[in-house]
């Protein structure tokens, strides 16, 4: 028997959503075309929903702000990039540099750290760990709200996306308007001082 979105959402996670609250949120979205976001007055973290999701999910979450440009890495050496963007995450220089070198650990050439960093690797790492999409992903995924168990494609679902490959990485939280209402509600019930806002 196919499961409808109410049965699915209401039964997921430790912070259950009642059918009455589901109807309130769903009716508001249908009429007003905006989510109900009961945000805390002075949040420690702000999640900004901006247009740009995929596969019918209209909104992409960002942490704090939406950035429109990434930094220019074209003049940074491997060592400089490591010092600015990687070291703070506890990754050793060799663990970062060697995968970006076209050879084996034994073949690492003296002075490689002074060469310009690989632009694709630099962009991918920055997007995952410093871009607003990746930072929002880390916040929401770390809340353990069981939202990642929601696999239906219907409305009211938060989608966690982790894609990787040679052409790039994409780590994001995507949602529709109803999903944003449920996300803020679950955040509130978990006692977290986090606000979901619209761009």
What would the pLDDT profile of 123-159 be if each residue is shown by its tens digit?
888 998 999 999 999 999 888 676 555 444 467 778 8
Q: Which helix (H) or strand (E) holds 60?
A: strand 59-63
Q: Is the model's pLDDT at 11 over the cut of 80?
A: no
In the chain, % of residues over pLDDT 70 = 75
The domains of the chain are located at 12-67+131-198, 78-127
Distance from C-alpha of 159 to C-alpha of 154, rounded to nearest angstrom: 11
pLDDT value, residue 1: 34
- pLDDT given at position 112: 76
Instruction: Supply the pLDDT for residue 165.
Output: 59
Residue 130: CB atoms within 10 Å: 17
């Amino acid at each position: 028997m196919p499961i409808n979105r109410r049965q699915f959402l209401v039964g997921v996670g430790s912070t259950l959503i009642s059918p009455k609250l589901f109807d309130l949120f769903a009716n508001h979205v249908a009429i007003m075309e905006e989510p109900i976001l009961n945000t805390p007055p002075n949040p420690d973290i702000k999640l900004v929903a901006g247009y740009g999701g995929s596969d019918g999910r209209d909104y992409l979450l960002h942490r704090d702000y939406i950035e429109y440009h990434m930094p220019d890495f074209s003049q940074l050496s491997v060592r400089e990039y490591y010092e600015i963007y990687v070291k703070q995450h506890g990754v050793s220089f060799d663990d970062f540099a060697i995968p970006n070198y076209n050879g084996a650990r034994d073949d690492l050439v003296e002075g490689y750290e002074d060469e310009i960093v690989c632009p694709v690797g630099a962009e991918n790492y920055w997007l995952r760990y410093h871009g607003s999409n990746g930072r929002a992903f880390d916040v929401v995924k770390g809340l353990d709200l069981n939202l990642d168990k929601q696999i239906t494609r219907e409305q009211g679902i938060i989608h966690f996306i982790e894609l990787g490959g040679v052409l790039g990485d994409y780590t994001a939280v995507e949602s529709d308007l109803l999903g944003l209402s449920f996300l803020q509600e679950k955040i509130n019930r978990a006692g977290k001082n986090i606000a979901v806002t619209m761009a």
